[in-house]
Amino acid sequence: MSKQLHKNFTDDQVKSLFEKYSKKEIKLNYVLQILKIKRSRFFELLTRYRNNPDNFSIQYKRNISNYKIDREIEANIIKELKIEKDLIKVKEVPIKWYNYSYIKDLLEQKYNQRVSLPTIIDRAKRNNFYFLRPKRKAHDREVISNYPGELIQHDSSHHLFAPYAARKWYLITSIDDYSRLILYAVLVERETTWEHILALEGVLLKYGFPLAYYVDSHSIFRFVQGRDSFWRNHYKLTDEANPQWKQVLDDCGVKVTYALSPQAKGKIERPYRWIQDRLVRTCYRENIRDIKKGQLILNNLLQRYNYRIVHSTTGEIPYIRFQRAIREKRTLFREFGIMPPFLSTKDIFCLRVERMVNSYRKISINNLELKVPGAPLHERIQLRIVPDKESGISEVRFWHKDNFLGNQKVKNSELNLVHF
């Protein structure tokens, strides 16, 4: 209890009580009740006060530098800090600072050793593994939501997540703005429209239709006149050309909101930093070179972030915050359903192109001719294409207005889907 005295009283308050006691203006029992200390502690402090009243203080000072820990624990701290230092030196890696919280978690998980964060920082300072981070600029815009599904923030990041890998990877992520629950996170070698459509499929099939998605103005998400020259003609201005990714959300009745600045994407950047930082450090320590093994590490980090970490902004674990709102029926997620006239999820989560049917009821796509029985002559039909990377085969589903005309299987290489 005596160590807490400095938290409950100031030096002047204690001095005043001692002075009154010395003048017999207050009884001992009353002082003990106020300070909540024992007689022995009281007379110890009183003696210190009388010996040096001007410099008397009850403030408790923890001497971290003299705090002794097990030699093996100290050796492991230095060992991991040295690895951190080597990682920071790699220019291509998005790691520029020491992460002492990561070292603390690593000691618990890898060595089964519990050490306080101040102790690790103290050892870092004493062994030249410490420098101050520059202050980050505050975000000037934030999106505020009150319900799960009100806004899904979606983005991607391109970094050398595994320092021993031959190339950089993309991390595609979707996060529920209200709960900060990460709904989707996948590493891919190439960022394509199809990968982002797969991300939509992963979220919408599991959680339902949200009210809106929040993205930046990347060409996959938004056509901007004057920038996206591939689409530009005299009739298409900003938002008049509809990207493939947005067409999927249009079919689902989900709105899209665009960030007006990088600062406006602040909320998704913070979870990104937590995931990216630990992903790089872990891949480095485990000598990861393969993207599939990198994904396994990412999955473990997601499990920890979603189910165990208290978010600094909400003060809650993301999954618990998300589920409580669902139980209380405070959600804007709508149950997923296939809207007419579509017959399958393949008609929604797909790539779309239009082609003219010739006199032989054939269409041509990238120099490949396909016969479409029952297709109206000399009219445009829509091809809804679902590629499968594992088999190398795409399913092409033919639609004319609201009528399904049939489907065919075609090799991905023959369709030449490189632009998607």
Q: What is the pLDDT of residue 110?
A: 92
Q: Rounded to whole angstroms, what are the CA distances from 36 to 4, 46, 364? A: 10, 15, 89
Q: What is the pLDDT of residues 82-92, one digit of tens each?
A: 999 999 988 88
- Collapse the DSSP code of 155 into the 3-class scheme (helix H, G, I; strand E, B; otherwise coil) and give the result: strand
* AA identity, residue 173: T
Between CA 268 and CA 215 the distance in angstroms is: 10
In this structure, the strands spanning 212-215 and 362-365 are unpaired
* AA identity, residue 302: L
* AA identity, residue 124: A
Give the chain's count of helices (H) and strands (E).
13, 11
φ, ψ of residue 255 to 5 degrees: the values are -75, 160
Between CA 140 and CA 297 the distance in angstroms is: 33
Q: Rounded to whole angstroms, what are the CA distances from 56 to 11, 12, 28, 62, 419? A: 7, 9, 20, 17, 76
Q: What is the pLDDT of residues 237-266, one digit of tens each?
A: 333 478 999 999 999 999 999 987 655 555
Q: Which residues of the chain have pLDDT under 70?
A: 1-3, 60-67, 134-143, 224-240, 261-271, 418-420
N- to C-terminal Cα separation, the chain: 67
Q: What is the pLDDT of residue 60?
A: 63
- Collapse the DSSP code of 83 into the 3-class scheme (helix H, G, I; strand E, B; otherwise coil) and give the result: helix
Between CA 248 and CA 253 the distance in angstroms is: 9
**Angle, CA of 60, 66 and 71, to the nearest 5°:** 140
Q: What is the pLDDT of residue 140?
A: 42
Q: What is the pLDDT of residue 420?
A: 62
